[in-house]
């Protein structure tokens, strides 16, 4: 009851703020009321956000995957209340928060029946399906001079030019390429930015969040010396952080970014490692946008299967999958090239090709599958967990985490099928085996404040030419997804 | 000597409108006048855009537009709630839109639709007809109007060809037709309700009709407009979007 009362009080406070911000703005002087705060007399608040309900059904097929589906619900409900609050202190400083309260649950679980079919298992508790708070952004921004901005807090900062995917984004939680609007969460950072007319210099320090509860961190950069109450021991005594510098240039009508990253065990296994990146974006022939985004790194933080272990030799859990190319001295570029255009009927087409030189070769992919198969037979595979929840980010429908080297991402969106109806589709294809996913969508802006959407998600298992056989079963990269199809109905009301 | 020069300048400047009224303006002068009226060198404006759609419903957008120099303009959207937080920026031939859901800016093309209405981005963010079009005066059926025939100088211009009518008495835009390279009329516009905004007389109401879907049209109303501002250059930097 106390929680309910507190919730209503909070809601009342935000409605009061909304009422304040919704007052009619019929002149520029109304809008500029916040400037009075320069004299210290007034703080202004702006509130907006949305309430979003997603209901999802997935046809779980445990036999297509080498990973247990015991924690993958067929039915899933996610109710999200989002509040974006901006408190301005004059024209030079503001505090911004983008927070979601998420209730979620899942039902109808299946696992293998041992005879090539599936069997229903009892509904049970899954840690990542519990309600949680996702503070996607929470930061203070101060601009003491027009050419100086200081930012402290959690923010999603994206510098690269890629549309569906950003290979130079070493900072943020991965986004869903089938719906780039979906993931809003950033990382905790301290940033100093010097913007000028034709160029910007940014420097950034990001300590890694090591432990968090309900989206709020309680250990950053270094593990505490003591174990957690649940028995979790400190993973190491290293400092986990990332330093980044970026130079942006607007040259010859082109956005050019140059990046430098220095990181130590920040979201990967690189230690005291330097990485470089660049991006480019420009319109050609009036209507055709072209972008390139590239990351250069010496060594790879990816884990690779041990060939002997995968093929029946003796091995341990530590060496079966290990970052064996971390210090091999080779350069492993990751490059995304893409373009976007809008046609006369206002439909938009985006095409992107992604290459990662540290992706698995055919042999490495086969070894990876053999390892999974061995682990499955030994009963070592952990049940796949739905994404989100514990990471402080919203639950992901799909995360692009490519295993191999060549990918194609196509997105098409056609608005105004009839005034408020739009359709779209996103295709992600692994070019090594022509497997992938296709995600059609249809949406209806029923009101200015209400959008109803229906999303499909269908894995394409690939063609026989590129697939890899393990124990007489053919696998492709996207055949590993433990479902035959999924659809999701979403209703989002803005306020 | 100094006093004499100042007086001469004052007298000359007083005489200029009389002289101008006596002679017909050239196409270039009318085009310059259009730019002065519709897109002063610097301004801060509050606008409402109402898109009337095929199914007779409407969508209303409220936004602020800030312009500096000839080729820098930035907009902030306040309404509807779904568009709140969106921003647009134009610097020279470059345009970006900041999407709060994406938490980032994306590049835009000049000819893409402005918020799904019947204006395109160039209509709102790139009003610099002197730079973008060659103009010639052609005979108008209505003797109270000048008729200008505009041809795009480059592909960056919002349209390939425009017919622009301006009133002879106040030299205000009255109506316009916008054409594709094929000669097909894409849109037509009406300029109405001439008002004074801090000394600048200009139409406060503009209606853009989609000639390809004739039930669709979009109104743009100027609620307020301030002129002669001193805005820091950093307001027109892509990294400032979202701040």
pLDDT digits (tens, 9 = 90+) for B133-142: 999 999 999 9
Q: Which residues of B touch A141 (CB under 8 A)?
A: 243
Report yes or no on B224 lying in a domain: yes
Please report the pLDDT score of residue A173 as a whole number. 85
Task: Please report which helix (H) or strand (E) contains residue B200, including its range.
Answer: strand B200-210
CB atoms A181 and B113 under 8 Å: no
Any bridge partners for residue A491, and if so which? A53, A452
Any bridge partners for residue A455, and if so which? A441, A488
Residues 6+ positions from B15 with CB-CB distance below 8 Å: none
- CA of A417: which chain B residue's CA is closest? B54
Please report the pLDDT score of residue A378 as a whole number. 75
Contact A132, A185 (CB under 8 A): no
Q: How far is CA A432 from CA A363, A370, B51, B83, in A?
A: 12, 18, 47, 40
Read off the pLDDT of each residue in A364-386 and give the average, rounded to a whole number.
74
A22 φ, ψ to 5°? -85, 0
Report yes or no on B160 lying in a domain: yes
Contact A175, A186 (CB under 8 A): no
Q: Which residues of A touch B44 (CB under 8 A)?
A: 28
Instruction: Measure CB to CB from residue B102 to each of A181, A193, A195 and give the nearest one.
Output: A181
Spatial CA neighbour of A149 closest among A96, A200, A87: A200
CA dist., res. B86 & res. B99, Å (int): 5
| Six-digit token string for A84 | 């974006």
CB atoms A28 and B44 under 8 Å: yes
Contact B39, B127 (CB under 8 A): yes
CA atoms within 13 A on the CB side of B234: 17
Contact B94, A254 (CB under 8 A): no
Residue B229 in this model has a pLDDT that exceeds 70: yes
Q: Which residues of B touch A196 (CB under 8 A)?
A: 233-234, 237
Tokens 């109806």 -> residue: A421
Of the listed ranges A82-86, A345-349, B156-160, B225-229, the one predicted with least confidence: B156-160
- CA of A290: which chain B residue's CA is closest? B107
pLDDT digits (tens, 9 = 90+) for A416-471: 888 789 999 999 999 988 899 999 999 999 988 999 999 999 999 877 666 777 77
Read off the pLDDT of each residue in A310-332 and give the average, rounded to a whole number.
88
Contact A493, A449 (CB under 8 A): yes
| Six-digit token string for B116 | 């799904």
CATH number for B80: 2.50.20.10
CB atoms A287 and B111 under 8 Å: yes
Residue B224 in this model has a pLDDT that exceeds 70: yes
Q: Which residues of B touch A281 (CB under 8 A)?
A: 107
Of the listed ranges A150-154, A177-181, A313-317, B186-190, the one predicted with least confidence: A177-181
Structural domain count, chain B: 1
CB atoms B223 and A27 under 8 Å: yes
Residues 6+ positions from B170 with CB-CB distance below 8 Å: B194, B201
- CA of A495: which chain B residue's CA is closest? B81
Q: How far is CA A231 from CA A209, A228, A239, A412, in A?
A: 19, 5, 21, 48
CB atoms A197 and B116 under 8 Å: no
Long-range contacts of residues B220-223, Cβ cutoff 8 Å, at least 24 apart: B220/B47, B220/B48, B220/B49, B220/B119, B220/B124, B221/B47, B221/B48, B221/B49, B221/B50, B222/B45, B222/B46, B222/B47, B222/B195, B222/B197, B223/A26, B223/A27, B223/B46, B223/B47, B223/B48
Spatial CA neighbour of A337 closest among A281, A297, A293: A293
Task: Please report which helix (H) or strand (E) contains residue A365, including its range.
Answer: helix A362-377
How far does B207 lie from chain A, in Å, by closest CA? 19
Query: Which value does ipTM take for this structure?
Result: 0.86
Q: Which of B43, B81, B112, B222 to mutate to test the interface with A (most CBs of A within 10 A)?
A: B81
A67 φ, ψ to 5°? -110, 140
How far does B3 lie from chain A, in Å, by closest CA? 40
Please report the pLDDT score of residue A382 as a whole number. 56
Of the listed ranges A33-42, A289-298, B77-86, B193-202, the one predicted with least confidence: A33-42
pLDDT band (50, 70, 90) for residue B7: very low
How far does A181 lie from chain B, in Å, by closest CA? 5
- CA of A27: which chain B residue's CA is closest? B224
CA dist., res. A366 & res. B79, Å (int): 53
| Helix (H) and strand (E) counts in chain B | 4, 13
Q: How far is CA A215 from CA A47, A392, A393, A395, B167, in A?
A: 21, 4, 7, 12, 62
Contact A24, A30 (CB under 8 A): yes
How far does B28 lie from chain A, in Å, by closest CA? 25
Report yes or no on B17 lying in a domain: no
CA dist., res. B191 & res. A257, Å (int): 42
Of the listed ranges A308-312, B40-44, B164-168, B197-201, the one predicted with least confidence: A308-312
CA dist., res. A168 & res. A278, Å (int): 8
Q: How far is CA A451 from CA A412, A415, B106, in A?
A: 19, 13, 22
Q: Which residues of B touch A191 (CB under 8 A)?
A: none
Q: Which residues of A touch B85 (CB under 8 A)?
A: 48, 84
Instruction: Measure CB to CB from residue A248 to each of B78, B113, B239 and give the nearest one.
Output: B239
Please report the pLDDT score of residue A336 as a whole number. 98
CA dihedral B118, B69, B71, B91 (to 10 degrees): -110
CB atoms B54 and A418 under 8 Å: yes
Read off the pLDDT of each residue in A465-493 and give the average, rounded to a whole number.
84
Report yes or no on B92 lying in a domain: yes
How far does A273 lie from chain B, in Å, by closest CA? 27
Report yes or no on B12 lying in a domain: no
pLDDT band (50, 70, 90) for residue A387: very low
Domain covering A42-494: architecture: Beta Barrel (2.40)
Residues 6+ positions from A10 with CB-CB distance below 8 Å: none
pLDDT band (50, 70, 90) for residue A153: very high
pLDDT digits (tens, 9 = 90+) for B60-78: 999 999 999 878 999 999 9
| Six-digit token string for A484 | 């035959």
How far does B163 lie from chain A, in Å, by closest CA? 21
Q: Which residues of A touch B239 (CB under 8 A)?
A: 193, 195, 200, 202, 248
How far does B123 lie from chain A, in Å, by closest CA? 15
Instruction: Measure CB to CB from residue A197 to each of B78, B107, B237 and give the nearest one.
Output: B237
pLDDT digits (tens, 9 = 90+) for A388-406: 334 556 666 677 889 999 9
Tokens 């196509």 -> residue: A410
The domain containing residue B87 runs over which residues?
24-240
Distance of CA A227 to the CA centre of its chain: 29
pLDDT band (50, 70, 90) for residue B124: confident
Please report the pLDDT score of residue B187 as a whole number. 93
Residue B188 in this model has a pLDDT that exceeds 60: yes
Cβ contacts below 8 Å, chain A against chain B, sum to 125
CA dist., res. A331 & res. A334, Å (int): 10
Any bridge partners for residue A83, and if so which? A49, A99
Q: Which residues of B touch A184 (CB under 8 A)?
A: 101, 103
How far does B165 lie from chain A, in Å, by closest CA? 26
B176 φ, ψ to 5°? -155, 155
| Six-digit token string for A316 | 């341990």
Please report the pLDDT score of residue B157 as a whole number. 84
Strands (E), A147-240: 148-155, 187-195, 199-207, 209-213, 216-220
Of the listed ranges A11-15, A29-33, A297-301, B193-197, the one predicted with least confidence: A11-15
pLDDT band (50, 70, 90) for residue A8: very low
Q: Which of B82, B97, B238 to mutate to test the interface with A (most CBs of A within 10 A)?
A: B82
Q: How far is CA A153 from CA A94, A96, A141, A171, in A?
A: 12, 9, 9, 13
Instruction: Measure CB to CB from residue B237 to each of A137, A157, A195 and give the nearest one.
Output: A195
Q: How far is CA A192 from CA A86, A170, A202, in A?
A: 20, 18, 6
Report yes or no on B55 lying in a domain: yes
Distance of CA B141 to the CA centre of its chain: 25
CB atoms B46 and A495 under 8 Å: no
pLDDT band (50, 70, 90) for residue B6: very low
Q: Which residues of B touch A451 (CB under 8 A)?
A: 82
How far does A466 lie from chain B, in Å, by closest CA? 35
Read off the pLDDT of each residue in A6-33 and give the average, rounded to a whole number.
55
Residue B1 in this model has a pLDDT that exceeds 60: no
Which has the higher per-residue pLDDT, A130 or A203? Answer: A203
Please report the pLDDT score of residue A1 as a whole number. 42
Q: State whether residue B172 is helix, strand or coil.
A: coil
- CA of A288: which chain B residue's CA is closest? B109
pLDDT digits (tens, 9 = 90+) for A261-277: 999 999 999 999 999 99
Contact A89, A45 (CB under 8 A): no
Report yes or no on B2 lying in a domain: no
A466 φ, ψ to 5°? -100, -5
CB atoms B82 and A283 under 8 Å: no
Q: State whether residue B203 is helix, strand or coil.
A: strand
């Amino acid at each position: 009851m106390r929680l309910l009362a507190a919730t209503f009080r909070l809601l009342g406070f935000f409605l009061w703020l909304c009422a304040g911000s919704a007052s009619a703005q019929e002149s520029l002087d109304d809008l500029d009321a916040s400037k009075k705060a320069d004299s210290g007399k007034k703080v202004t608040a702006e509130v907006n956000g949305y309430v979003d309900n997603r209901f999802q059904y997935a046809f779980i097929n445990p036999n297509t995957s080498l990973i247990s589906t015991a924690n993958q619900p067929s039915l899933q409900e996610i109710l999200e209340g989002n509040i974006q609050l901006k408190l301005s202190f004059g024209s030079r400083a503001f505090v911004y928060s983008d927070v979601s309260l998420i209730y979620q649950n899942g039902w109808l679980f299946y696992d293998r029946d041992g005879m090539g079919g599936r069997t229903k298992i009892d509904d049970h508790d899954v840690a990542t399906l519990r309600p949680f708070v996702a503070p996607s952004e929470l930061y203070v921004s101060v601009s003491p001079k027009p050419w100086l901005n200081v930012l402290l807090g959690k923010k999603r900062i994206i510098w690269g030019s890629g549309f569906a995917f950003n290979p130079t984004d070493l900072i943020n939680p991965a986004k869903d390429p089938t719906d780039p609007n979906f993931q809003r969460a950033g990382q905790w950072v301290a940033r100093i930015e010097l913007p000028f007319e034709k160029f910007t210099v940014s420097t950034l320090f990001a300590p890694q969040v090591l432990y968090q509860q309900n989206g709020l961190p309680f250990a950053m950069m270094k593990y505490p010396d003591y174990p957690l109450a649940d028995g979790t021991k400190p993973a190491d005594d290293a400092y986990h952080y990332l330093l980044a510098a970026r130079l942006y240039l607007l040259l010859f009508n082109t956005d050019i970014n140059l990046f430098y990253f220095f990181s130590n065990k920040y979201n990967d296994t690189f230690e005291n490692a330097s990485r470089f990146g660049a991006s480019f974006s420009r319109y050609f022939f009036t209507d055709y946008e072209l972008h390139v985004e590239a990351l250069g790194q010496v060594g790879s933080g990816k884990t690779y299967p041990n060939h002997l272990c995968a093929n029946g030799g003796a091995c341990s859990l530590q060496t079966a999958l290990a970052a064996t190319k971390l210090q091999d001295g080779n350069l492993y570029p990751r490059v995304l090239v893409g373009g976007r255009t809008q046609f006369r009927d206002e439909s938009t087409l985006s095409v992107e090709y992604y290459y990662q030189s540290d992706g698995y070769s055919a042999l490495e992919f086969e070894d990876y599958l053999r390892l999974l198969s061995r682990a499955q037979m030994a009963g070592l595979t952990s049940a796949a967990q739905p994404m989100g929840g514990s990471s402080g980010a919203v639950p992901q429908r799909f995360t692009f985490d490519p295993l191999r080297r060549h990918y194609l991402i196509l997105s098409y969106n056609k608005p105004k099928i009839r005034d408020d109806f739009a359709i779209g589709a996103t295709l992600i294809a692994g070019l090594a085996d022509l497997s992938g996913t296709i995600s059609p969508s249809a949406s209806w802006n029923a009101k200015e404040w209400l959008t109803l959407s229906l999303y499909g998600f269908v894995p394409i298992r690939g063609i026989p030419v590129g697939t890899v056989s393990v124990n007489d079963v053919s696998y492709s990269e996207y055949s590993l997804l433990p479902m035959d199809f999924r659809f999701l109905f979403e209703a989002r009301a803005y306020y | 000597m100094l006093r004499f020069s100042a007086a001469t300048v004052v007298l000359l400047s007083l005489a200029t409108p009389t002289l101008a009224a006596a002679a017909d303006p050239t196409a270039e002068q009318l085009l310059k006048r259009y730019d002065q009226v519709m897109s002063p060198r610097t301004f801060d404006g509050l606008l409402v855009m109402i898109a009337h759609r095929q199914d007779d419903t409407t969508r209303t957008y409220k936004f602020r537009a800030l312009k500096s120099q000839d080729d820098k303009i930035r907009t902030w959207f306040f309404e509807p709630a779904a568009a709140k937080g969106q921003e647009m920026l134009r610097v020279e031939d470059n345009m970006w839109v900041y999407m709060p859901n994406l938490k980032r800016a994306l590049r835009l093309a000049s000819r893409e639709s402005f918020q799904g209405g019947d204006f395109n981005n160039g209509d709102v963010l790139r009003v610099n007809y002197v730079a973008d079009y060659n103009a010639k005066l052609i005979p108008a059926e209505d003797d109270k109007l000048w008729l200008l025939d505009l041809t795009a100088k480059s592909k960056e211009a919002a349209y390939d060809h425009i017919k622009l009518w301006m009133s002879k008495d106040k030299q205000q835009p009255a109506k316009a037709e916008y054409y594709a390279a094929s000669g097909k009329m894409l849109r037509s516009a009406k300029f109405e309700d001439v008002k004074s905004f801090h000394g600048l007389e200009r139409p406060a109401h503009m209606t853009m009709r989609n000639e390809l879907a004739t039930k669709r049209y979009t109104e743009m109303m100027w609620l307020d407009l301030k002129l002669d501002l001193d805005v820091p250059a950093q307001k027109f930097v892509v990294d400032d979007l979202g701040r």
